[in-house]
Structure 1
Amino acid sequence: MGRAVRRYGRLVSGSTGPERLIVTIDPSLLDDLEWRGLIAHSTDLDALREAFSSGSVRFYVGFDPTAPSLHMGHLVQILTAKRLQAAGHTPFALVGGATGMIGDPKEAGERVMNTVETVQEWVGRVRGQIEPFLSFEGDNAATMVNNLDWTAPMSTIDFLRDIGKHFPVNRMLARDVVRTRLESGISYTEFSYVLLQSMDYLNLHRDHGVTLQFGGSDQWGNLTAGVELIRRTDGHKVHAIATPLMTKADGTKYGKTDGGALWLDPSMLSPYAFHQFWLNAEDEKIGELLRVFTFLAREDIESLEARHAEKPFLREGQKTLADEVTTLVHGSVEMEQAKAAAAALFGGGELAGLSPATLSAALQETGTVQVDRTSGIPRVVDLLVETGLAKSKGEARRTVTEGGAYLNNVRVDDPDAVPTEADLVAGSWLVLRRGKKKFAGVEVV
């Protein structure tokens, strides 16, 4: 029999080669995660530190396809997985084809059940959003898994005997979200979600040697339940860590709007709007956001924080943050287009250089109106009123005569000026601006 080879931090027999470590492990990983504020809860950091220093730890993070796109909160987990893989550890990215049909309980109330076909479509979309961030080659190559593969074949009796037996109801009732929902009502389906997620950890531990799961701090009860299930069934000690929930300075959740999410899918939120979100980040949150959402080195972030604190009006922190995160999610080309669009709309660049898609997306964020080609394009003063840049035609005329009206970044001097087909940008757009900061789009259809 050949000598044992230490592979992924554990001995595997049957190889004739010398003992060796396949991947290079970064011993500073845990220190970096702590400095970035990415560990809100943990099971045993000393034991995890030892595991990290002993070899490539196999870890998993799960994403439920309860929407057609991932959002800002999921990005924290994706980038954390990327950090762990870059440090030499081995990712298993789980997209929950099974759990996505149920959804983790929310404090607000029962989730709407999506159809099987919808969930499976979203599984593909979510996988496509995760894949670019991880490497699927090399000694610590990532693996994509779907929990429907081991959940669907399982009978109800087996599930209750093999999994349900290990979950005391009193402990399940003690979960914060369950206590909150008891008065308003919670279905057995959502109440049992924790069993499914715990079973995921057990299966990945048994089949792939996964010994670490992480997720958001709102998942902490599910994470520790998986740790406990593995201890009860197999007698093994495994690990869990939770990242903090990202909030604004006033403690409320982030989002594109009060009721919307910062989607990663460009068809649901344009790269321009995505870039603008980060560009408008609060000064108090710049350091935290740079640590969590960028891969800038510690010394670079601390230097940037110091410069930003001294001269916040330069918005160097926001600009760096917006460029870095937009490049990570949408690529450098879209990032540059987003910057060019913002510059052009505010009069600092050429509108003609923007792609039609970028220009359209940017104008949609500001508000647009449509006019019919066959009826003729209205005068600039009429368009100023129609777009809301002026309250009346009298105000619009005064804006023009005082030199405050612009069409495609060119000052309008004649109150009776009428745009022509030659003025259309990207074939169908007029960009109106009043002063330096108020602008709107007119789509000629």
Structure 2
Amino acid sequence: MENVYDTLCERGYIKQLTHEDEIKKILGKEKVTFYIGIDPTADSLHIGHFVTMMFMAHMQRTGHRPIALVGGGTAMIGDPSGKTDMRKMLSKEEIDHNISCIKKQLSRLIDFSEGKAILENNANWLLNLNYVDFIRDIGAHFSVNKMLTAECFKQRLEKGLSFLEFNYMLMQGYDFLVLNQKYGCTMELGGDDQWSNIIAGMELIRKKESKASYGMTCTLLTNSDGKKMGKTEKGALWLDPDKTSPYDFYQYFRNVSDLDVEKCLSLLTFVPMDEIRHLSSLKGQEINKAKKVLAFEVTKLIHGEEEAIKAQNAAEALFGGGTNMSSVPSISIPESMKNALLTDILVHTKVVSSKSEARRLIEQGGLTINDKKIEDKNAILEDNDFNDSCVLIKKGKKKYYSLIIE
């Protein structure tokens, strides 16, 4: 069978791993059951999660069995990893809703049919634990001194780390133990910020079961400056089309830095590496060909081919001087706002966050209505501005909206 380890290395997924030679040998000869944990802290995953989803998908495509573990139990505490403040507490109802949404998004890349993958919820074993028994049985195997050296705790100690969060490592380690006992899971994968928690689970399995287990972390999605990718004017780049439209999703990747094209193609698509190397070697205006491939392929994986084609066509129509706005993100206003101040309309539709931002946008020449630059801060959107019942708004150089009447 194809050794997925070689694929993961070639495409740049692996950041750290615990037993390099053993892992490479096992992945080439055996079918491994592995897991990745996702805490359902929101009703959508974001582009950062997408890297781990692709990690799972590559593993599954070469015969290994993924367990997608949603943290219905751990989400009630919150992982301190990578956080400077304590996470917001969620109700059980919020968590259950988030889990149902996340499963649909995971199913875009992971095949859950016929036992090919497993969806588990750690609430099934964590919520019914007897605390005294848990501390006696599991807590006895954790050294507080060692835990305090973990990066996920060290950066929180300066601001204050609650005992509630201090339990998180024990619970994630216990998750690995339960999955090992229940499904024969021998490997945990995760983002690089999960390294300490992964090691804790492996140590627990060794002490409780006298078995070998393994861990790998994947590269976090960062740009050429080392900053996390996925931030937009509206916040995170979500996988939910109601939070980030397929068009905005497409445009984000269409406009990535030239230096980030190869990394994004490698981590976020299934485009063969020979083609990726060719595309990323293009220079000048030619690199835009690679960005179009990147934007289309990523959008297709998340939103489906039909939505990817719509987003592509909308972008081509707009930037090519066309007039087809059928796939441009739509925003709406009530009939009563016709003939209202443009600044009021921009705030109402959340194109900008405030009237002062709207005025600055106009002063700086950054607002265009139907290809006409707006220079008057007191401009009014009039009936004759509507072409086929809609108005094309351009904010800055790259943000387009189709304004319609509700």
TM over 0.5: yes
Distance in 1 (CA, whole Å) between partners of 2:95 and 2:178 is 22
What is the CA–CA distance in structure 1 between the aligned matches of 2:129 and 2:207, rounded to whole Å? 20
CA distance in 1, matches of 2:208, 2:335: 71
**Structure-2 change in CA distance of 1:227 and 1:350 (3 Å):** same
For residues 259 and 63 of structure 1, the distance between their equivalents in structure 2, rounded to whole angstroms, comes to: 23
Q: Distance in 2 between matches of 1:434 and 1:276?
A: 14
Identify the residue that residue 282 of structure 1 maps to in structure 2.
257
| 1:32/1:377 CA distance change after superposition, 3 Å | same
Instruction: Specify which of 168, 172, 189 is matched with residue 197 of structure 1.
Output: 172
Aligned counterparts of 1:213 and 1:102: Cα–Cα separation in 2: 21
Residue 292 (structure 1) aligned with residue 267 (structure 2):
yes
Where in structure 2 are there 5+ consecutive unaligned residues? 347-354, 374-380
Task: Work out the percentage of aligned pairs sharing the same amino acid.
Answer: 36
- Post-superposition Cα deviations, 1:311-352, rounded to whole Å, max 9, x if no partner, equal 345412211111110000001111111122223333533426
Please state how far the C-alpha of 1:227 moved relative to its aligned partner: 0.7
Give the structure 2 partner of residue 8 of structure 1.
Answer: none
Distance between the aligned counterparts of 1:190 and 1:37, measured in 2?
Answer: 32
Q: Aligned letter for 2:257?
A: E
The normalised TM-score by structure 2 is 0.86
1:402 matched residue in structure 2:
none
- Deviation, 1:444, is 3.6
Deviation readout 1:375-400 (Å, 9 max, x if unpaired):
865899xx99x9878559xx9xxx9x
Aligned twin of 2:139: 164
Q: Deviations over 1:152-196 (max 9, x none)?
A: 222112211121111011011111121221121111111110111
Determine if contact 2:250/2:308 at 8 Å carries over to the other structure: yes
Question: What are the residue-to-residue correspondences of 1:3-402 with 2, within 5 Å?
Answer: 25-27=1-3, 29-105=4-80, 106-137=82-113, 141-257=116-232, 260-307=235-282, 310-346=283-319, 348-351=321-324, 354=326, 358-360=328-330, 370=333, 373=335, 377=339, 391=363
Aligned pair in 2 of structure 1 residues 167, 441: CA closer, same or farther (>3 Å)? Answer: same
1:77–1:215 contact (8 Å) kept in structure 2: yes
In 1: Cα distance, 2:127 partner to 2:97 partner:
17
Distance change >3 Å, CA 234–CA 344, structure 1 → 2: same
Equivalent of 1:424 in 357, 380, 388:
388
Superposition deviation, residue 70 in structure 1? 0.8
Q: Could you tell me whether the CA contact under 8 Å between 2:202 and 2:214 is conserved in 1?
A: yes
Seen in structure 2, the aligned counterparts of structure 1 residues 161 and 436 have a Cα distance that, compared at 3 Å, is closer
Q: Is the 8 A contact 2:5 2:28 kept in 1?
A: no
Q: Match for residue 12 of structure 1?
A: none
Shift, 1:419, TM fit: 4.7
Task: Calculate the aligned-residue CA RMSD, in Å.
Answer: 3.4
In 2, the alpha carbon distance for the partners of 1:221 and 1:48 equals 18
Distance 1:131 1:436, change over 3 A: closer
Determine if contact 2:78/2:168 at 8 Å carries over to the other structure.
yes
Distance 1:410 1:144, change over 3 A: same
2: CA distance between counterparts of 1:74 and 1:375? Answer: 39
Q: Deviations over 1:230-275 (max 9, x none)?
A: 0111111111000011212222212233782211111111111111
Amino acid across the alignment from 1:156: Y
Q: Is residue 191–residue 218 contact of structure 2 (8 Å, CA) maintained in 1?
A: yes
Deviation at 1:53, TM superposition (A): 2.1
Q: Secondary structure at the match of 1:247?
A: coil
- SS of alignment partner, residue 222 of structure 1: helix
Any runs of at least 4 consecutive aligned residues in structure 1 with deviations exceeding 4 A, and if so which? 372-380, 386-392, 417-422, 432-442
Give the whole-Å Cα distance in 2 for the aligned partners of 1:254 and 1:42: 23
2:338–2:383 CA contact under 8 A, matched in 1: no
Q: Which has the larger radius of gyration?
A: 1
Q: TM-score, normalised by structure 1?
A: 0.79
Moved more, 264-273 or 430-439: 430-439
Q: Equivalents in 2 of 1:121, 1:151: separation in Å?
A: 19
Check 1:390–1:173 CA distance in 2 against 1; reply closer, same or farther (3 A cut). Answer: closer
Change (3 A) 1:256 1:129: same
